[in-house]
Structure 1
Amino acid sequence: MKFSSTLQSATLIKRYKRFLADIELPNGEIRTIHCANTGAMTGCAETGFKVHYSTSDNLKRKYPNSLELCQNEKGDMICVNTSLANKIVSEGIVDKVIPELRHYQTIQQEVKYGDENSRIDLLLTDENHVDCYIEIKSVTLLKQNEQGDGQGYFPDAVTTRGLKHLRELISMKQQGHRAVLLFLVQHQGIKKLSPARHVDAKYADGIQHALDAGVEILCYNTYIDVNMIVLNQPLPFLPL
């Protein structure tokens, strides 16, 4: 996925009110930009981090600039725009990057499904009209320790919405469909992933219930630079 506009660089002052961030441009100008991320962004948006932002040509936007990437003190690129996740995974499926999902013929996004008024991120269908329901979760929480083992976690905050999605996937599996939870790792420092029991124990339990019910879990990282983000390679998922 290529960014629709050339990204500009700045220094992060602070992220606040969930959807806003203040940045300092190289010329010293202070600017408020939009941040499309509802998560805690723990370790991803610290004061002084280098950031990269896009500019919209929509003249009606109050904040024409959007925060896309942050770069931590180690130089790891982090995509903080969670609205891009579906597009990144869709392109990865079309480009046959995910062996587990290569044989599907059609892709639909944001399709209504389930008993809890949900929308599935991606609905795939093969030539035999067998459906595969895919829920995508963007991962950016890295455990900071001296070992530097690249241990990542999801979620970075308590997620009742995430629990609902697990229930819906379990229901789809029970109805005879294929159900997949795909973790899209968008932090270059993360080398493996586990449920964040220390953040949300109920979600960690929900992951185990989903696995026991036959829901598949895939975990892939991304290649990130200021021009594009693309699906890259699988990472270990350690549920326990």
Structure 2
Amino acid sequence: MEQARDIEKTSVFFDSELKPGKFLKRPNRFLAEVLIDTGVVLAHIADPGRLKELLVPNTQVFLLPKSGENRKTKWQLLLVQSNDTLVSLNSTLPNELVYKALKGRKIDEFAEYDLIKPEYKVGSSRFDFALAKKEDRSTCKKKNIPSCLLEVKSVTLVEDSLALFPDAPTKRGTKHLKELIELKKEGIDTAVLFVVQRDDANAVKANRKTDLEFALTLKQAYESGVSLFAYKTRLDLEKITLKESLTVIID
């Protein structure tokens, strides 16, 4: 297996200054009650995972102020403190971070691609990114297929320095893996990139005890030639930064 290596840093900065608070409870999977300096507020959780290891009562969290006529809350629960580590609970941040890194050719494994299209539809499914090389553009356009299809997975659960995905059963994630396997058989390069939204992981592995079907399908994908990559990130109160690559363990 390749050794983890550093990459040139790519960061996404948060829109506003974060507000510290204490997590109280989670009325449903998309809402949290948080105590801040002005009282108890509701905050949106942009991560549908279980997060039970992270969202423990009285845990330090950080809220991002949000505005909009159709919003039900004025806050988003963005970060949670897990021991000495900040963890992002925004499941869309990895895609934003990866898109910026792809555009800047900062990820070695995908540096050869100069055309990046997010949210690319193939059949009835939508994949996070379609990638193409400059010399393949005309062929890709004519056949309406990219050189490579990339799916990004957000990882927040870490146990004993091992990042585990998923933290809740994911039929959608398994479906995407099966589709990537079939597309690989058709001659399209396919890949999965796990983005660990914290910096205390040394490797990534499928969470067999939570979703055995996903774990078995991930192994099948690997054996079928679907490329598997992982990177961890570092968080502070201003930004998320892409760090070094991690090994994806297959068992």
Q: Under a length normalisation based on structure 2, what TM-score does the superposition of the two structures give?
A: 0.88
Question: What secondary structure does 2:92 align onto?
Answer: helix
Distance 1:49 1:16 in 2: 16
State whether structure 2 residue 47 is matched by structure 1 residue 61: no
State whether structure 2 residue 94 is matched by structure 1 residue 85: yes
Aligned counterpart in structure 2 of residue 131 of structure 1, from 147, 172, 175: 147
Opposite residue 112 of structure 1, the aligned amino acid is K
Q: Which residue matches 2:111?
A: 102
Displacement after TM superposition at 1:150 (Å): 0.4
Distance 1:57 1:179 in 2: 38
Distance 2:93 2:23 in 1: 21
Q: Which residue matches 2:167?
A: 156
Distance 1:42 1:63 in 2: 22
Q: Which residue matches 1:70?
A: 80
Displacement after TM superposition at 1:46 (Å): 1.2
2:103/2:114 contact within 8 Å kept = no
Q: Which residue matches 1:42?
A: 52
1:43/1:142 contact within 8 Å kept = no
Opposite residue 157 of structure 2, the aligned amino acid is L
Task: Give CA deviations for 1:96-124 in whole Å, capped at 9, x if unaligned.
Answer: 3310111111211111114xx21101111
Opposite residue 101 of structure 2, the aligned amino acid is G
Displacement after TM superposition at 1:135 (Å): 0.5
Opposite residue 186 of structure 2, the aligned amino acid is Q
- Indicate the RMSD between aligned Cα atoms, in angstroms: 1.3
Q: Which residue matches 1:186?
A: 197
Q: Which residue matches 2:210?
A: 199
Q: Under a length normalisation based on structure 1, what TM-score does the superposition of the two structures give?
A: 0.92
Opposite residue 45 of structure 2, the aligned amino acid is C
User: Unpaired segments of 5 or more residues in structure 1?
Assistant: 144-148
1:120/1:135 contact within 8 Å kept = yes
1:219/1:234 contact within 8 Å kept = yes
Distance 1:16 1:163 in 2: 28
Displacement after TM superposition at 1:188 (Å): 2.5
2:198/2:234 contact within 8 Å kept = no
1:11/1:48 contact within 8 Å kept = yes
Displacement after TM superposition at 1:54 (Å): 0.9
User: Unpaired segments of 5 or more residues in structure 2?
Assistant: 1-11, 137-145
Q: Which residue matches 1:146?
A: none
Displacement after TM superposition at 1:168 (Å): 1.1
Distance 1:16 1:124 in 2: 40
- Using the aligned pairs only, state the percent identity: 31
Count of equivalent residues:
231
Opposite residue 105 of structure 1, the aligned amino acid is D
Opposite residue 132 of structure 1, the aligned amino acid is C
1:137/1:183 contact within 8 Å kept = yes
Displacement after TM superposition at 1:174 (Å): 1.1
Distance 1:215 1:42 in 2: 31
